Chains A and B, each alone.
Chain A
Amino acid sequence: MTDFLTDQQHAGQPTPAPGGEDFLVVENLSVQFPTHDGLVKAVNDLSYSVKMGETLGIVGESGSGKSVSSMAVLGLHDIKRSRLTGSIRVDGKEIIGASEQTLRKIRGNEVAMIFQDPLTALHPFYSVGAQIGEAYRIHHDVSKSKARAKAIEMLDRVGIPQAKSRVDDYPHQFSGGMRQRAMIAMALVNDPKLIIADEPTTALDVTVQAQILDLLQELQRDFRSAIIIITHDLGVVAEMADEVLVMYAGRAVEQGPTRELLTHPEMPYTWGLLSSMPDVTASTDARLVPIPGNPPSLLNPPTGCPFHPRCPHVDKVPGDLCRTELPEFLPGQRGTHHLKRCHLVNPDDIYATEVLPEIAPDLVELTLADNADVAHGDGMHGER
């Protein structure tokens, strides 16, 4: 799997839809939950956008605000128990503060969601077909039998064998992988323009994971929908995403085109994610380096850069900047398409000389040469 650390074109890599319209625009989104212990600042000043047909990968450790931010897109937070600020626009329509009626028209129709654990996300007391049919009938004025036929068609489409007889099965009669296929069928039944898949393979075993990811990619080609894939697994991102957003403590900390970001990460937290991936360190002379420490408290986030208590590179930043000042989310050395939130001035060199030798020694030469290219002004994106 180390191949995604190089610039070699990934065989199955979908190409971004060039110059498409932004379908989803998230601007300065903050989500906070008042609790007994205080205010949980789950998402802070988050901005991103997704174009039609594009796949955005959102990566981060658990608790970094991935689910909370994506649930906000469908207006799934209880307004009595949460505070949302900023703007979320789906095809131009504002979500924050929208009426229940407006939200209902978008939910499951323009934007559909696939959840992490299909066993708990499907209702245990309704058949799979009934649940898919219900999703269809909410947005289409058709009879129950038409909806059932549609459910069979969708189950067949996502690769459930003998869909006709399985349509009346209950979720517990399906295997984990089949349940997730059913969940995907339910998400796609209304032909949504955006699918948000929140860790769609985390609850599945490895062989099934790959099948589900393949299915998602295949369906995306057919349905031309945009996908946001949420994961803590950079391998999934490497395979699926055109663009990657790395989140830490409810903030965007690095963002860029997938290959660019994976080959030239500029933020120590991303380096940590790469080092802690078992797949990356599979080569013999590399070692697994888990990110030391724990994700920060969202009740009392650290001052300055939220990553500073765990960051091994704090001393490379002059003064006490890492502890006192939150770095802005700005383009780094490699161009405007690659943003990062870090005070380091020469992250590319540090990555090539200090981080890469630890995690993938065989790639050091390649990356150093590439950095030199950028320094000389050619190969702007580090892509060939």
Chain B
Amino acid sequence: MAGFIIRRVISSFLVVVLTSMFVFALFFLGPSNPAGPVCEASGKCTAERLALIEEQMGLNESVVTQYGAFAKGIFVDRTITIGSEYECDAPCLGISYGTRGQVTDELLEKYPATLSIAIGGAMIYLTLGVLLGVLAARWRGTAADRLLVGGSLLVSSVPYYLFALLAWIFLTLQWSIFPATGYTPLTENPGAWFAGLLLPWVVIGVTFSTQYARFTRGSMVETLGEDYIRTATAKGVKSNKVVFKHGLRAAIVPIVTIFGLDFAALLAGTVFTERIFNINGVGWWALNSIQSPQDFPVITATVLVSAVLVVVANLLVDVIYSFLDPRVRMS
């Protein structure tokens, strides 16, 4: 088991390194010259000035050297020249071309908003989805089951952003049921933090729960057909307990797997949610960074963070999975 975790940590680390290299390579193969916008921002951009800036930014070095400098910055402080000189403290992910701030600082500043959206939304959709799925499986074939499956397909067929937009327009702007304050950091005012996030949570919760209701229903229907469920009933276990203890205990395992990956994706950027509900998080930040003029250090950082999240989520899923299933744990 320990060996398994060590092997997985090593392979996860390799995936992150490879992703960072890949992003770096893309940066070089891309059509635009990063020195261009920097040069233009500082008045008239002559060919000599452009050459000088390219030189200062190290763009004339080989890809390998530049990647080395970038990777080194994660462990030690470095100085970066973009027009003028900037200090970049380790772990350094570069200096934003747009704001000339340290990318790491901006990341840490924007992350709590995204994290808040993702955790709250995920808690709602997981609880609601699993509960609905279990109930549908339990009463499969009945009108309630058909209503749930039909309703869930209907909700899933509406694009998420449309849902979010309608919720924002009607529930916040039109009827003022939810405040239009946007995001307030938790440390600043917990009440305002909660109020501002409530609608995004509900929208994420409801839309994603339908998908989880269907996953759970499928997994539960299969589980409830297992021999050990019949054994439980034959022992005299109450039917609620058969479903929620014996059934759900087994049916939840594949749901955990899907959830881990979904949640990582959600953490990597709740782009639509942030845009629509006016929340300044990582998603919005990433979206801005790819618009012209491109902010390469920010793009690199957001992609890298997403990669780390997905990899960590995968790792956690594997570990949790092995704790949920004694057959895996003991092998």
Contact = CB atoms under 8 A, between A and B. Distances in A.
A170 B234 contact: no
Interface string A87-101: 000000000000010
B225 to A, nearest CB: 11
A186 B235 contact: yes
Interface string A137-177: 01100000000000000000000000000000010110000
B79 interface: no
B11 interface: no
Interface in B215-252: 226-228, 230-239, 246, 249-250
Given A124-B325, A124-B327, A170-B326, A134 B235 contact: yes
Interface string A211-246: 000000000000000000000000000000000000
Question: Chain B interface residue count: which class?
Answer: 20 to 34
Contact of B228 (A74, A106, A123): A123
A122 interface: yes
B6 interface: no
Contacts of B43: none
Contacts, number: 70
B232 A123 contact: yes
B124 interface: no
A120 B239 contact: no
Interface in B287-310: none
Interface stretch (A35-43, A108-116, A307-315, A359-367): A108-116
A69 to B, nearest CB: 15
Given A100-B239, A117-B227, A172-B326, A108 B234 contact: yes
Question: Chain A interface residue count: which class?
Answer: 20 to 34
Nearest to A125: B249
B115 interface: no
B227 A121 contact: yes
B29 interface: no
Contacts of A80: 141
B324 interface: yes
A108 B233 CA distance: 9
A138 B230 contact: no
A381 interface: no
B241 to A, nearest CB: 9
B326 A108 contact: no
A115 B230 contact: yes
